[in-house]
Structure 1
């Protein structure tokens, strides 16, 4: 058991203090008018993403304000827009002007290009400056063509004309969001720790299904309400959500160590699921998705559910085998719950710090 615990400590310790940092840049490109030389480009990203690209906090107060963006206008031109070149039929487009605006939960950057006739193509070389998990989600005209996805391995996007189908080689919008949802549940180390703590004393298959259903319904409610704008997650509230997620991990792990009966687990799971839903929502809230938010919400949530189902299906048979050996099960619960409890405590301190 000591050999099992040591790698788990390393795994949980590898999770960063904030497990839901936004790792997407949302983009739009369109001709205006549809057949004219003028092309409008839009990028939205969180302030933390912008800070990875250039020193955007001009006054050094720890927050990126509109005044900071105005002061960093020249840096945005070189560090950002020069790193997302736009071409038409292979010829470079000339950038005419650009601006940056601080929104409630993200930064909106716009630019106007003059392009020759022909199909548009944008290359996001800016991705080479970011961690490898970052992606660009490009929304097409009014959501007509779904969304296109680019990453550091495929940084160029062929932008379809109005009404045209997306270029091959890129996931359609809904499927791409499903993939992102699955990625976030597998990379969200705190969510994984919470689910593992639940499954350690899950009990019968019926009780496990009740818990998983309660968690799914709860986080779908808060994820949907936040992504659709009914609840606002500003940076301060997001910080407290992250701390509450850490507390939920501590509580469930502590229950595993103290209580022998866990008949109330479905209710506890539902209540904490509401909190975890806010954590998932913080992934979407910083993107400025505009007309794409409904498709992104549905696909992302489905991906989260699929990732969660894969985790449960993989772990439940193992836990059932261990439960057949009372001594082994008792020590497994004690050791892993202790590790999860310590990890939750570390995350709580980091997120409140």
Structure 2
């Protein structure tokens, strides 16, 4: 057992810690009544662009505005080749409406593209195909706000590796449809996120086990195990909702790098606690503490998306 633990620690020391913030880009697509053009603002992380285009020319680990500006045409070509809009099965063409700019998000600096998609018409079926980084990062997502003609409310869309093509509704989507989409994407994101699954297992596994003579054994009664599961899940969800609300409303703000590192560390702490039985009672308190932390991770995504 000791050899296994030493091997596990060695592997962790040589492996990058994956935190909660995934690779995302942010798009706002806005159509106006009486026009066949769609105004597009697209925010793409410089770290992602550097991975694909090697923006850091001098290799000093920092990307300057001069290095970004030199590759602005390459960035635009990459982006417009990975996003196709079509109306009534006819492709829309791209035009640049403003020079490339930079903007700060919670997790770093992003390149901002201002584009116009010129479509034959906006009266038929409107579709979008997104594939920005799927060839190098299958977990990458495109987070989209689509504002239909004559609407003031944005429809939220999430483009992933399994949902790279979606329809843009010319009529605003209802609240239930938006909720359904977010629930489906949330379940899929958890399913493909091994770090999330390991964290959930680390929290819930002790709820169905009891420690006897320094060893773990199955809980003797289903009712007791069920109570522990309910307490852990409720505590985590309540704490998660508290910090998610405070952060999303702008009342509390923490650096994204700090939050991501702390979330990754929480997975290690939960696992070590299970191995050595550090918290044998009141596990709901540990779940509550972790929930406070993880709420900030989700809030950073919602804040960047403008929700």
TM-score by length of 1: 0.63
| Offset of residue 125 of structure 1 | 4.4
Contact persistence 2:28–2:42 (CA under 8 A): yes
Unaligned runs of 5+ in 2: 211-223
- CA spacing shift, 1:222–1:45, aligned 2, 3 Å: farther
2:181 to 155, 176, 182: 176
- Within-5 A mapping of 1:30-49: 30-32=30-32, 34-49=33-48
> 259-268 vs 215-224, which deviates more?
259-268
- CA spacing shift, 1:87–1:261, aligned 2, 3 Å: closer
- CA spacing shift, 1:58–1:114, aligned 2, 3 Å: farther
Residue 194 (structure 1) aligned with residue 188 (structure 2): no
Q: Distance in 2 between matches of 1:148 and 1:117?
A: 22
Q: Distance in 2 between matches of 1:276 and 1:113?
A: 37
Contact persistence 1:148–1:172 (CA under 8 A): no
- CA spacing shift, 1:102–1:230, aligned 2, 3 Å: farther
Residue 240 (structure 1) aligned with residue 258 (structure 2): yes
2:146 to 140, 144, 162: 140
| Offset of residue 35 of structure 1 | 1.2
Structure 1 vs Structure 2 CA RMSD: 3.9
Unaligned runs of 5+ in 1: 294-353
- Within-5 A mapping of 1:316-331: none
| Offset of residue 238 of structure 1 | 2.8
- CA spacing shift, 1:245–1:132, aligned 2, 3 Å: closer
Q: Distance in 1 between matches of 2:185 and 2:34?
A: 34
- Within-5 A mapping of 1:1-353: 17-32=17-32, 34-57=33-56, 60-64=59-63, 66-89=65-88, 90-105=90-105, 107=110, 108-118=112-122, 119=124, 120-126=126-132, 128-141=134-147, 144=153, 146-152=155-161, 155-161=164-170, 163=171, 172-202=177-207, 204-205=224-225, 206-233=227-254, 237-259=255-277, 262-285=280-303, 288-290=304-306, 293=307
How many residues are aligned here?
276
- Structure 2 counterpart SS, 1:175: helix
Q: Which structure would you say has the larger RCO, counting Cα contacts within 8 Å and 6 or more residues apart?
A: 1
